[in-house]
Chains A and B, each alone.
Chain A
Amino acid sequence: MELKEIKCPHCGHVNPPGTQLCQSCGLMINEDYDKNKIKDVMRYDGSAVRSKVKSQSIFDKIWIFFTSIRNGVIIIALIAIAASIGTILPQQYFIPIGVDPETYYSDNYGTFGLIYYKFGFHNLYSSWWFVLLNAMLALSIIAASVDRGVPLYKSLKNQRAKKHPSFFKRQRITLNSETADSEDVNKIIDGLKSKRYKLTEEGPHLLFEKGRLSRWGPYINHTGLIIILIGSMLRFFPGMYIDEILYVPEGETVEVPTTDNKYYIKNEKFILDTYEKDSGSVFDKSLAMQGDLASNYQTNITFYENLSSDVVGSEPDLKEIDTDEIRVNHPFKFENYDIYQSSFDNSSMKSMTFKLVDKNDKQVGEEFTVDLKDPESTYEIDEQTNIELRAYAPDFQEIGERGELISQSPVARNPAFVFQVNNDSLTTPEISLLQIQNTDEITPNNEYKVKFVSMENQIATVLTLKKDLTMHLIAVGFIIFLIGVFIGSYINHRRIWINKENGLSLAAHTNKNYYGLKKELNSVLNENGFDFVNDKDEAEHDDRMKG
């Protein structure tokens, strides 16, 4: 372990502990580095990657553990594997609303589903261990970046054009020509300058450099990632993120949750447009094969503020403050909230209309309509006749012990009615039980019959209430990440060192895309009568091919 700074025997520059190549002249000053871990000594420009300490505190030990890229990769892999587990069964967010999760998972997926639930996998992405993995990822990103970025920055900022000959030999791309004359060499210099290289001169020592920004790409994208992780973390903080469902039947007004009873919203009208079938368009074939396909649906709303600050349950004092038409992709905004059109529900019924007919199937009096949410107790048919609603179940399940109608939910999905027909001509009233597509006479030999005429569906809009103060932070983080990734990937950092003391001595390095660097160099060299550059890797490759 290095403690001491290293003084270069060639140029005298004092280097930080652990440096492999002298920051000034590039001489190899420290062979004692882990060659398995650092395969290309030029990756961080020969600078010390990890500052090691004599007495390692617990903080140092933790830090060093997280600077390892191998460990970082393992953390990334663990996160990816964990994420995949969450896709085996649907997460709790996606199961039907109002259903008890434990019942849902064990009913639908058996023992496997139950185990999945017990382990908390149904809420995997907010589980404590997933959060912990991401925290470790954050630490890994920071530690690895700081430990490499700072020395790299110092090294590139202070680099000199003059390099020791061993540095030249060490590079992958080299070219030597002792017979080159200065005129030709100058042409090369011009050629390189025309390729937008920036030139630094120290006498006969030249450094051509371009694209240094590319080296900062990873550090920029890592910064973006940290911002994203911070934004994601903030989601757990109260008030930062709200995601609620609003179920509003047409015509009704409901309270907007999480606003402390301050806001109410009314579903004035729900509009559903579907694509026309059989219109002669190109879509006919696919439309014919399915039910109605929605082309547009929207909710026309009125938005209210509750002026009364009375306790829960009391009547609100509503003042209208806005109206809007909420369509898919076009939310209604108030304060930090958005209300989105999510879907709709027309599975329950609003009302049913009946008529009374006599023995000859002739209608008696007027039709009557039963409001399935709030039915009347008596309906007037004509002056001599009325119909009493003896019993009603919105979602008929069975007949109870005492003959009562039992409903399995308060939602009008499968209504059943016990109607009693009272008519002046009848000695005893007639009673019958009506369900969907089925009538049972309770009193025998009825003269009159109640018949179903029509039904109106209850349309309810399903809106999503969203407040997300973290979204913009995460977006900014991701944009910075993208900038970093594009800079790091699409730009190449190229450097060419030339020593023109004895003819031409050239070495070149790039952080990636040697193919492109060679192409560029070779074109400049060839134009001026020089050979192609030597590529160490190619030489090895040729040897390998022969073997």
Chain B
Amino acid sequence: MQHTFLQISNTSIFIAFILLLIALVPLALSIRSKHEERNSKIAVGIVIVAFILELVYFAFRWAATGHAPVSNLFEFIAMFSIMLIAGYLITYVYYKTKVFGLFAIPISLILLGYGSIFSTDVAPLIPALQSNWLFIHVTTVTLSYGILSMSAVAGFIYLLKIIPADEKSLRARMLEFLMWNIVVVFAFIISISVMRGIGYQNDFLYVDQTGNNAIAEYHLPSLINYNDAQAVNHLGDNQYEAADHFNLGISLPPIIKAHSLNTVVWSIILGTVLYGILRLGFRRRLYTVVKPLAKSADLNLMDDIGYRSVIIGYPLFALGGLFFAAIWAQEAWSRFWGWDPKETWAFITFMFYTIFLHLRLNIGYEGEKSAWLAVIGFLIILFNMIAINLIVAGLHSYA
């Protein structure tokens, strides 16, 4: 029975992914064509169906495992991705913006694609995670992330519209740098999927931080590896034999997850190559390619959405990301705040949005300044989610 639930859950989210992809078509059309209203209604309709399917994914996965599906990295990223769609729908209901979806939905999809790189298997909960607070904390924090991210979407649209295509300025270069980042994430998802698809896996034996032997699975050729890592082949069960896998030889102590860092480095290399190809193909900066999509956006509205999503999301983040997290940490680890990397970066995210609000409300940082801040805030959230989980090993890391 549980297996059926799991299957329904996996299928639901897969279909949702496809539907969201499809929804982009009428969404794009609604901006430029004559049948504006009809197209945008169709688009939103599809998005709502996709969102419901994502809720089905959530419910059935819960039923299959007996606990809320927020306990590993994939589940967390999936949750964040779903909350982005929720955030978009809330924004749509309130402001009826059309352009918004064209940017919010792809970001949600990229995130979901990124999340599915990680183990999508269900695992039972270790004792520290067996608590109702798991669900309460993670749901609230991802909801707040979803809402706060809307400010970054609005900010991004604002910047796309307001920065001229041929301007040679710092801000134009920063915007192009953002585009490069997006290309890198793309390249990462594609390269990992391809490597997995062809079954590329090289194992390495190393000694982890606690002194135990561990196996690192490399899905991309090893450039960076652990100190004294030994290439091995898996013979089955716990049997390994020495092997000769490609290893460039850069070595790091086990506090850094070398195989994750390796992936990051590969993504940057491949992403930059892809970026170069795109630049050559389009013969101009990539943001100028996307810029026309933002043409019909209302700057004041984008600014307003940017501000309001923060003013609504910030208290939720304080509640879910700090308060609930502290309650749960106290219960599970007997210390409600320990300055571990994940907690500290949640704190930094909190401080950042505090600065955002003070600058905006008291020092008048509106418009473009606010848009940049909103985008940076989103990057900090991503850093917390990605870098801290993957590269820094520790108590709080998921993967």
Interface of A with B (CB < 8 Å)? 39-40, 43, 69-70, 72-73, 76-77, 79-80, 83-84, 86-87, 89-91, 93-94, 96, 108-109, 124-125, 243, 275, 281-283, 285-287, 289, 293-297, 327-329, 331, 338, 340-342, 464, 466, 471, 474, 478-479, 481-482, 485-486, 489-490, 512-513, 515, 537-538, 541, 544-545
- For the complex, give the distance between the alpha carbons of A340 and B333 in Å: 8
Chain A to chain B contacts (Cβ below 8 Å), 8 pairs = A80-B347, A91-B339, A96-B210, A275-B124, A466-B334, A474-B336, A482-B323, A544-B299
B355 in complex: contacting residue of A77, A91, A283, CB < 8 Å: A77
Inter-chain pairs besides A91-B340, A282-B3, 14 sampled, C-beta below 8 Å: A43-B361, A69-B362, A76-B355, A76-B358, A80-B347, A84-B345, A87-B388, A243-B335, A285-B121, A286-B121, A293-B123, A489-B315, A490-B312, A515-B304
Please give the distance in Å from B337's CB to the nearest CB on chain A.
8
Q: Tell whether B122 is near chain A: CB-to-CB under 8 Å.
A: yes
Check if B182 is an interface residue, CB within 8 A of chain A.
no
- Given A125-B339, A482-B319, A541-B300: A293 and B124 interface contact (C-beta under 8 Å): yes
A49 to chain B, nearest CB (A): 10
Contact residues in B for A478 (Cβ distance below 8 Å): 322-323, 326
A84-B348, A282-B6, A471-B330 are known contacts. Are A90 and B315 too (CB-CB below 8 A)?
A: no
B130 touches A72 (CB 8 A): no
Do B351 and A287 touch across chains, with their CB atoms under 8 A apart? no
The interface residues of chain A lying within 8 Å CB-to-CB of B131 are 329
Q: Contact: A482 with B6, CB < 8 Å?
A: no
Q: What is the bound-complex CA distance between A86 and B300, given in angstroms?
A: 39
Number of A-B contacts (CB under 8 A): 144
**A508, chain B: closest CB distance, angstroms:** 17
Whether, in the assembled complex, B318 has its beta carbon less than 8 Å from a beta carbon of chain A, the answer is yes
Minimum CB–CB distance from B298 to chain A (whole Å) comes to: 8
Asked if B25 is at the interface of the complex by the 8 Å CB criterion, the answer is: no
Residues of A close to B358: CB separation below 8 A: 69, 72-73, 76
Determine whether the beta carbon of B127 is less than 8 Å from that of A295: yes
User: Of the candidates A90, A297, A482, A537, which one forms a contact with B300 in the assembled complex, judged by CB atoms under 8 Å apart?
Assistant: A537
Residue of B nearest to A284 (CB): B121
Known: A80-B348, A86-B344. A108 touches B255 (CB 8 A): yes
Whole-angstrom distance between the Cβ of A513 and the nearest chain B Cβ = 7
**Proximity string of chain B (313-342) to chain A, C-beta cutoff 8 Å, 1 when within and 0 when not:** 011001100110010001111111011110
Interface residue total, chain B, C-beta cutoff 8 A: 62
CB-CB under 8 A from A39, the residues of chain B are: 364
**Residues of the A chain whose Cβ atoms lie less than 8 Å from the Cβ of B318:** 481-482, 485
Residue B243 CB within 8 A of the other chain:
no
Closest residue of A by beta carbon distance from B128: A328
| B40 nearest CB across to chain A (Å) | 20
Judge whether B64 is part of the interface by a CB distance below 8 angstroms. yes
B392 contacts partner chain A, Cβ-Cβ < 8 Å = yes
B295 at the interface (CB under 8 A from A): no
Q: How far is the CB of B274 from chain A (nearest CB, A)?
A: 30
| A90→B210 CA distance, assembly (Å) | 14
Given A86-B339, A328-B130, the answer on whether A295 and B124 have CB atoms closer than 8 Å is: yes
Known contacts A281-B2, A285-B121; decide if A296 and B345 are in contact (CB<8 Å): no
| B333 contacts A342, C-beta separation under 8 Å | yes
Chain B nearest Cβ from A2, distance in angstroms: 21
Give 1 or 0 for each of B200-223: 1 = CB within 8 Å of chain A CB. Answer: 000000000010000000000000
The 7 closest A-B pairs by CB, nearest first: A340-B334, A328-B127, A286-B121, A286-B123, A80-B351, A87-B341, A39-B364
* B126 lies within 8 A of chain A by Cβ: yes
Contact indicator A513/B308 (Cβ below 8 Å): yes
Do A329 and B315 touch (CB < 8 A)? no
Bound form: Cα–Cα A79–B348 in Å:
9
Residue of A nearest to B364 (CB): A39
A76 vs B358: C-alpha distance when bound (angstroms): 11
A80 touches B352 (CB 8 A): yes
- The closest CB in chain B to the CB of A283 belongs to B124
Within 8 Å CB of A331, what residues of B? 334
Contact of B334 among A73, A464, A485 (CB under 8 A): A464
In the complex with contacts A73-B358, A89-B255, A340-B334, A283-B122 CB distance below 8 A: yes
A83 B355 Cβ-Cβ under 8 A: no
Chain B residues near A90: list those with CB within 8 A: 255, 394
- For residue B95, give the distance in angstroms from its CB to the closest CB of chain A: 8
Query: In the complex the two chains form, what is the Cα distance from A282 to B62 in whole Å?
Result: 12
Q: Which residues does chain A contribute within 8 Å of B388, judged by CB atoms?
A: 87
- For residue B311, CB closer than 8 A to chain A, the reply is yes
Structural contact, A471 and B336, CB atoms closer than 8 A: yes
Are B308 and A538 in touch, CB under 8 angstroms?
no
CB distance from B208 to the nearest CB of A (A): 12
Q: Verify A327–B127 contact, CB threshold 8 A.
A: yes
List chain A residues, Cβ under 8 A from B345: 84, 87
Q: Which residues of B contact A537 (CB under 8 A)?
A: 300
Q: Once bound together, how far apart are the Cα atoms of A5 and B347, in whole Å? A: 44
CB within 8 Å for A87 and B127 given contacts A489-B312, A490-B312: no
Q: Which residues of B contact A329 (CB under 8 A)?
A: 127-128, 130-131, 331-332
A69 to B357, CA, bound (A): 11
Query: A282's contact among B2, B339, B347, by CB below 8 Å, is which?
Result: B2
Measured between beta carbons, the chain A residues less than 8 angstroms from B64 are 282
Tell me the minimal C-beta distance from B324 to chain A in angstroms.
Answer: 10
Q: With a CB–CB cut-off of 8 A, which chain B residues contact A489?
A: 311-312, 314-315
Question: Can you list, as one digit per residue, whether each of B264-287 has a CB less than 8 Å from chain A (1) or not (0)?
Answer: 000000000000000000000000
| B363 x A69 contact (CB < 8 A) | yes
